[in-house]
């Protein structure tokens, strides 16, 4: 992760993912099994499908977790830097996730 604000804007979307951030692929837990992660993903655990550039190797493929397909980038979650996104998502996870994974 770097702390440089950057976006690849899609004119059809009001807010675009900051490519290479990866915070939402690390901070949140994913409680349902998905490809390569039969127990889901613990909060703070790096997803097995995140590449070295913090991009999803499953993007656009049916194997990508449903959680990820439904998650939309938005300022309140993504902040303005990767570090800010990680802080926000870690707080959200702690506030909304009473369960733990095995
Ligand atoms: S937290 Fe936001 S900016 Fe960072 S990878 Fe996820 S959607 Fe993209
Ligand atoms: S499947 Fe892709 S989008 Fe979902 S957490 Fe893993 S790397 Fe991120």
Pocket of ligand 2 (CB under 6 A): 25, 47, 49-50, 56, 58, 64-65, 68
* Residue 54 forms part of a structural domain: yes
* Low-confidence spans in the chain with pLDDT less than 70: 1-13, 98-102
Whether 79 is in the pocket of ligand 1, judged by its Cβ within 6 Å, is no
- The residue range of the domain holding 64 is 23-96
* Residue 12 forms part of a structural domain: no
Nearest to 16 by CA among 64, 80, 63: 80
Number of domains the chain contains: 1
Q: Which two tokens stand for residue 78?
A: 């993504």
* Residue 2 forms part of a structural domain: no
Q: What are 31-42's pLDDT values in tens digits?
A: 999 999 999 999
* Residue 13 forms part of a structural domain: no
* Residue 56 forms part of a structural domain: yes
The pTM for the full model equals 0.85
Give, in order, the Cα–Cα distances in Å from 56 to each of 25, 68, 97.
8, 10, 23
* Residue 40 forms part of a structural domain: yes
* Residue 85 forms part of a structural domain: yes
* Residue 18 forms part of a structural domain: no
DSSP calls for 12-45: TSSS---TT--GGGTSS-B-S-BTTBTT-B-TTP
């Amino acid at each position: 992760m770097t702390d440089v604000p950057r976006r690849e804007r899609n004119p059809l979307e009001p807010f675009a993912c900051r490519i290479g951030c990866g915070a939402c692929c690390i901070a949140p837990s994913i409680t349902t099994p998905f490809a390569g992660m039969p127990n889901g993903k613990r909060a703070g655990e790096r997803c097995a499908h995140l590449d070295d550039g913090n991009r999803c190797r499953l993007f656009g493929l049916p194997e990508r977790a449903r959680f990820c397909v439904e998650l939309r980038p938005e300022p309140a979650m993504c902040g303005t830097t990767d570090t800010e996104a990680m802080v926000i998502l870690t707080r959200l996870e702690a506030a909304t996730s009473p369960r733990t994974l095995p």
